[in-house]
Amino acid sequence: MLSLSHFDYHLPKGLIAQYPAKSRDESRLMVIRGKKIEHAIFKNIDDFLQAGDLLVFNDTKVIPARLKGEKIDSGGKIELLLLREIDKNHWQAKAKGSRRLKPGMKIAFEGTELLAEVAGKKEEGEVILKFDSHREVKEDLWQIGKIPLPPYIKREVEESDSQRYQTIFARVEGAIAAPTAGLHFTSELMERLEKKGIDFTLLTLNVGLGTFSPIRDEDLTKHRMEREFFYLPQKTADKINQARRENRRIIAVGTTTVRVLETLADKKGEISSGQGWTGIFIYPGYKFKIVNGMVTNFHLPRTTLFLLVCAFLTREEMFEAYGQAVQEKYRFYSYGDAMLILKN
């Protein structure tokens, strides 16, 4: 039986991308078709796709969820990461130094009159914040917050990240991390794909901590994903089901998209519209119901994301691909290069 340690690999730190490629579609692309591994540039992905393919994108938008504030009673500095909107004024947040936060404490934010009060504490450094605002807190975030880059990007957030850490499809606010496989697509590339007869559609998964939470137990069956909100509209379900009836390939752009599709698909691969919270954890042994292909970045070892791609192919095939990626000096993680996996 496979355990967590079976999904570890060595990655030189110098291969962890700190900045995106100069142009979105100039990143490198590894293509896996059957037993064959090929190397290309992302803007040429259409060379490996065919008329009738349906690409499914996640249209979530990253909010500037990282806030720096000051405790009103003491003047102490505090850093917050907003995780989830509970209602108009209440947010679940992760706080550095949260042990010093107590219910009733108030926090001010530089550059705005917005105030927040600690309304409650949760486990593992999480708090519930009540904002003193007569409008949507999200409106204030764009003035006072910063885009929350992943911790393995060892630099300060720059102005360009506000644009480059969003996909061109981003429209539904609520994510704290980008669906990074979609970062490689440009408007020009999409026009070329459409001219070739390649279709696309959208769904939403607001990427949260569940995607990145570490697996802490060697026994994979004991891991529980933190749930993330999703929405798949009827028009998307109709497009996907029609493509399946016509034996066209369903290619998910990103692991977040895979998780929504596999959450909503029935045993026959038919998909229904819907919204809710998914905590689906996909690891080797899982039988995919609907996805025929996947665009994805290169993921951290020992993570739910890496396990998902190992389930889509096999652990041995994915280790072979990752070994080549290290040898060929591909760039890894959120701002890194991409992989296209086609099962047929």
Can you name the residues that pair with 230 across neighbouring β-strands?
205, 276
Task: Provide the pLDDT for residue 135.
Answer: 66
253 — phi, psi (to 5°)? Answer: -95, 95
pLDDT of 2 above 90: no
Kindly report the CA angle at 128 between 127 and 132, in degrees rounded to 5? 130
| Structural domains counted in the chain | 2
Which pLDDT value is given to residue 99? Answer: 63
DSSP string, 262-326: HHHB-TTS-B--EEEEE-----TT---SS--EEEEE---TTSHHHHHHHHHS-HHHHHHHHHHHH
Q: 225 and 86, same structural domain?
A: no
Residues 217 and 241 in one domain: yes
Q: Is residue 156 part of a domain?
A: no
Q: What is the pTM of this model?
A: 0.93
Element (H, E) at 236: helix 234-245
Give pLDDT, residue 88.
Answer: 78
Q: What is the pLDDT of residue 190?
A: 98
Q: What tokens does 249 get? A: 């390939």
Which CATH number fits the domain that encloses residue 277?
Answer: 3.40.1780.10
pLDDT in tens, 269-300: 999 999 999 999 999 999 999 999 999 999 99
> CA 275 to CA 87: how far, in whole Å?
17
Reported as a single tens digit per residue, the pLDDT across 306-338 is 999 999 999 999 999 999 999 999 999 999 999
Containing domain of residue 275, as a range? 4-62+162-342
Is residue 154 situated within a structural domain? no
Mean pLDDT of 232-237: 98
Retrieve residue 60's tokens: 């979530």
Q: Residue 126: which CATH number? A: 2.40.10.240
Q: Is residue 157 part of a domain?
A: no
Phi/psi of residue 314, nearest 5 degrees? -135, 165
Task: Report yes or no on 155 lying in a domain.
Answer: no
287-315 residues labelled b (16+ CB within 10 A) or e (exposed)? ebbbbbbbbbbbbbeebbbbbbbbbbbeb
Pick the most confident of 12-16, 69-73, 79-83, 115-119.
Answer: 12-16
Asked if 325 contacts 8 with a C-beta cutoff of 8 angstroms, the reply is: no
Helix (H) / strand (E) element for 254: namely: none
